[in-house]
Structure 1
Amino acid sequence: MRTKFIYTAACIICPLHTLYAAGLERTDQSIAAFLEPGNYAEISLAVINANIEGEVQYKDFISELGINDFSTGNLAEREFLGKLALKFQPHPQISAGLIYEQPYMANISYDYSPALPDGSVIEIESADISFKSNNLTGLIGYQPHAHWNIYGGLSLQSFKGKLHITGQQYDALNGYDVQFKNDNAVGWLAGLSYQRPEYGIKTSITYRSKIKHKNSTSESTFYSNGPFTIVPETQTAIETPQSVNFEFQTGLNSSNLMYGAVRWANWQNFVIQPPQLGAVLYWASQDPQYSELAQLKLISYKKDQWSGKLGIAHQWNSRWLSALEFVWDKGSGNPASTLNPSDGYRGLGLGIMYSFSPQTFLASGAYYLQFNKPDISSTPLAPQISGLSTVADNDALVYGLKVGHHF
């Protein structure tokens, strides 16, 4: 039936599910592929081209050197992401699946070394920041009735990162370098789905637990002659956030379908604070002049993430289907900094799907995202790495491609 075709296609017509979300998140960790009928496999790829820039702090002091260019340049590097999913239905009431994705990522590189009037260059601040993760989720589902699916599983997650900052702005932390070695940890997920294909109805709600990492950590500065150890602890506790995904779709008629999703992620409890840096900040905060340093974290977020999408899919004929959707992300509430030059976004996505056969399809899509401007901090102490005095009208283009096959 035509309704069944739209029902199957709606969850893949805009194949990206890969946006510039709050925190370090780059995917919505959807398990939609696991809810496809029968045996199913898919592969998707996405490219994120973001234009994210602002102006550095302390412009009054810098301008006294005869410098009038305060731009950080583009803080974001091009990112490539992939996702693989495999689902089996060995029994009408039992399903199993595997999903691989890269949920958390950051690639930030900038160098603010402006030229002085005499032609020489002064290094005021620069940063190279990289975080990467890989996630392999195994799922088992039980269908007590044709309309219901109860599922759960485990996620094996790797997480690693590095950060290097240099420049006069960082004072005693000039040349601070931290390496978080790869750590593997396990979390769990569980959910419930209700489906009525004859009406184009599909809903699901999925909870993912936080995943606790203990990353071996090495910290150094220009002045430490190698890794320094103020306290004996050499591991950093990092918990990737728990989350809830609610996804839905409903048929409007035989050719049109409405769909959407709402996501909550607990970024407010996410902190990265290497042990030696924490010790340095603690001892420095004992001087009343620098007491606020006791609250400073290398990376943290003030608010939880709320994000969502709402779209319409239209089937043109037996082979072609298109969709238009609106997406949004509320952001983390952090003041403007090198790790938070934007605070959420609004955007539009357009996708098309071509069905080679009832079993195989190719889908592609693109999003345009307009980032919201974060608040400018009124204190010289930046909440993350280095603050910004202003931010630009930043935006991004995200492109995606997906191939799916029922077998």
Structure 2
Amino acid sequence: MNDESQRYSPTRFRVDLVDRLNYSRMASKRDVLRVDPEMDEWVQKHFPSMVIDDLDALTKKIQEALPRYYQVSVCTAESPTLRVLLDEFQSFSDKTASEMTHLGIAVRPAMGGLTQQALVVVGQRLHDFSPEALTEKKDEAFFSRCLHCKHPHIVRVSREQNSLGLECPECRRTYAVVAADSERKFRYVNEFLTGYAPPAVFAKDISRIYQLFTICSAVHGNCIYTRDPGVKKDATDAWQTSLETQRLGQGDCEDSAIYLCDWLISRGYNARVALGRYGDLGGHAWVVVKMNDVEYLLESTESAPDPRDPPLVSKVGARYVPEVLFDRFALYVRSTPGQSWRNSDGYFSGKLWTRIEPRSLNPSTEPLPVSKLTADSGKVDPSKMARTSKPSPAAAPFLELEDIPRDAAVWQMPLAVGAQTVK
């Protein structure tokens, strides 16, 4: 037996066992399992001193150390020799789920060196969440990490929704909102503000406040409110960029709000799109602007504002309840989740709103706490999963901004605002 052990090493056994597990998968046309260095290193490090008398306790220990895996299966076997030990895993190889992607293997002597024991851990390793992964992959679960409290967790998504928000299960704060465009490509919502700046020419003596209302009136006059065709009652629709909305001449509340906000930012205004609720009517999107320490609330779907009676947040904002704000570079969420909203609180307060950059949601290899697993389990504890919700009104790296899109139509519609005129 000692001679046999010297001729057939644990390293050779590991290689042969991987092949043995994959032969069965290839025969049934399933993807082969790959050795995960992180999992393999952990299993080899801890298996020599591991007590294996309760598989549920073992999987819980694996969960605590390597919980990036959505599903985990474990199998142990013991035999006088490593060659015979290979056959002990035959039935396990036939039963590994097709969703499993990676594995780790460890071997140790048992019974004072009279036998050999092996541990195989097979799991479904999750991809990191990103708009690109959501677009390209068919997965329904991803790995993510809260940008507020750094809590790692699983994100479950619904493919029926074109937009969704990610809420951390630990701190209960939203840390990302993504939406699909007309080509079904997902991006963070702030990336819909692409730097749109129509080549409008304003009179030299027009004031900033009149220019603000002129732009708002132009958006009202050139964007007919409409829901996306074919959108179900409970489904969220596709989002449009400003240039798409201008070309189509129509859009719903978030499309026209993006259209208006993008133009205002290009003209140097401190503007944000707000997603939230309007009274009892449900989800809505609007635009807020801060100028000279005064906050304005601009509706992109109703009548144009009257400069003689400007829509101040303190005056018209009582029925508007914002949940998320965004500009071109960042997302702004409530600093205290669940806090009641008063329109006097303000949309630009650093105490009330926390600024986060969704693109800082970089891939991570650190573990995340997922479900309490059994010896062969794919069930996930809801407390360890992000809450995904569709934003009420409804990629690539951050888009390179341009002052004027080459194919943007030149504004030719004369629009009078008070005594000022713009073409």
**Which structure would you say has the larger RCO, counting Cα contacts within 8 Å and 6 or more residues apart?**
2
TM-score (norm 1): 0.23
Name the structure where helix makes up a greater proportion of residues.
Answer: 2
TM-score (norm 2): 0.22
